[in-house]
Amino acid sequence: MKSLNRQTGLLAIVGTLAITLSFSETAFSVDDGARSYWKGRDGTNVVSFQYLNLDMQAFGSQQFDPTHFIYPNSDASANLMIASYARHMTLFNRPATLSGNIAGGSADVDVDTSLIPPDFLPPDVIPGASLHQSTSGYADPSVQLDMNLFGTPPLKSTVDLANYEPNFTLDAAVMLAFPLGQYDSDKVVNMGLNRWYGRLALPMKYHFGAFSSGYMRSFELTPSMWLFGENDDFMGQTLKNDAMWQIESHLTWDFTRTFYGSLDLLYRSGFQSEIDGIDVGDKLNIGDLGFTLNYKATDNLSLRASYSSNVFGDSDLNTSVIRLQLVYGWHQLTENQKKLQGGHN
């Protein structure tokens, strides 16, 4: 019965449908990425490796990174590697994803110190002189728990996946970063923040078109609030920040079964800095636009590239982010099915 064989063969496709599409990473305040909150079958594992190149120029008194205080009139670049792992599961009979990130890399910064109060400069820096510093090491690791609140049933079995055709979904996500990354209080640029910080998010998405490879389309919107603890050793002083408000949005579109694209938007505001009780700099007002291209090389492996740059908000800040990502996902049952079928097909 050929049609039966064809359909049962599709089980493999359904089984891995969400594996290579879903991942959430939170490091370095780049966006989570398109289709990050798509759910996979309970028991699905996903690892991701990504390379990030961030290029930033800050003018006036703007800050450009919500988790890294950067001096005005500075020019910085960073090259980062982020390794992530995510596990799709069911919690309280709701689909959920637990993920963790470890990141590391290097950063360089050139700062015009003429506008910086001497108290905010490292001890060995002469005010008015240009400053160049480099750093490398691990960034703060983070964990995130995301749970669907509405629109996605528990995906415990292949039957659940076969019946899964989401429309509107709403999740809640909690991220917490640990102050374990490289930090030197005498440096103006560090990989870690020397403080706890975290995020509360409400990822939501609306699917339109068939929920089937080649037809998937979604509009995704994730409002979130970042909260930061105190850095009690910022040049010997205490750095505090107000909450940062963020909206991330993606319009994603399958071009083919294996290739989709996304228009990406990231807007951040708030994050007023205070050093030893004195407001420093302006609140954030940054809007990035970008795009993502994702190629599903196999049922397990996806390759992703994205670019974004701030194009609205305050004009005294320029950023650009290039991201290359490799995502590999698997589920034991699907792998076993492939073995029975004599390998990938």
CB of 147 to another protein, least distance (A): 24
Taking CB under 8 A as the rule, does residue 1 contact another protein?
yes
**What's the gap between Cα 75 and its chain centre?**
23
Cβ distance to another protein smaller for residue 40 or 192: 40
CB of 342 to another protein, least distance (A): 18
Partner residues linked to 47 by β-bridges: 85, 328
Q: Which tokens sit at 282?
A: 């302006």
User: Which residue, among 158, 24, 28, 21, has the nearest Cα to 98 in the 3D structure?
Assistant: 24
**Interface with another protein (CB under 8 A), residue from 126, 129, 210, 324:** 210
Taking CB under 8 A as the rule, does residue 3 contact another protein?
yes
Of the ranges 10-18, 226-234, 285-293, 312-320, which one interacts with another protein (CB under 8 A)? 10-18
Of the ranges 97-105, 162-170, 178-186, 292-300, which one interacts with another protein (CB under 8 A)? 162-170
Taking CB under 8 A as the rule, does residue 339 contact another protein?
no
**Interface with another protein (CB under 8 A), residue from 45, 53, 77, 157:** 157
Of the ranges 59-67, 146-154, 206-214, 226-234, which one interacts with another protein (CB under 8 A)? 206-214
The string of DSSP codes covering 141-170 is -EEEEEEEEES-----SHHHHHT----EEE
Instruction: Put residue 7 in one of left, alpha, beta given phi > 0 → left and psi -120 to 50 → alpha.
Output: alpha
User: Which residue, among 105, 69, 84, 78, has the nearest Cα to 22 in the 3D structure?
Assistant: 84
**Interface with another protein (CB under 8 A), residue from 149, 159, 174, 278:** 159
Beta strands in the chain (DSSP E): 45-58, 74-91, 94-112, 130-138, 142-150, 168-177, 197-201, 204-208, 217-228, 231-234, 237-241, 244-254, 259-270, 273-275, 278-280, 284-296, 301-313, 317-330
Phi and psi angles of residue 333, each rounded to the nearest 5 degrees, phi first:
-65, -40
Of the ranges 111-119, 181-189, 208-216, 229-237, which one interacts with another protein (CB under 8 A)? 208-216
**Interface with another protein (CB under 8 A), residue from 14, 96, 111, 191:** 14
Taking CB under 8 A as the rule, does residue 8 contact another protein?
yes
Taking CB under 8 A as the rule, does residue 163 contact another protein?
yes
Contact in structure between 173 and 146 (CB atoms under 8 Å)? yes
How many of the other CB atoms lie within 10 Å of CB of 315? 11
CB of 15 to another protein, least distance (A): 8
User: Which residue, among 28, 63, 113, has the nearest Cα to 275 in the 3D structure?
Assistant: 63
Phi and psi angles of residue 147, each rounded to the nearest 5 degrees, phi first:
-135, 135
Site string (164-203) toward another protein, x via CB under 8 A: -x--------------------------------------
CB of 154 to another protein, least distance (A): 15
Q: How far is CA 211 from CA 59, 158, 188, 205, 217, in A?
A: 45, 15, 48, 13, 8
How many of the other CB atoms lie within 10 Å of CB of 124? 7
Cβ distance to another protein smaller for residue 12 or 201: 12
Taking CB under 8 A as the rule, does residue 117 contact another protein?
no
**Interface with another protein (CB under 8 A), residue from 168, 232, 236, 257:** 257
Taking CB under 8 A as the rule, does residue 161 contact another protein?
yes
User: Which residue, among 222, 132, 231, has the nearest Cα to 184 in the 3D structure?
Assistant: 231
Q: Which residues bind another protein (CB under 8 A)?
A: 1-4, 6-8, 10-11, 13-14, 157-159, 161-163, 165, 210-215, 257
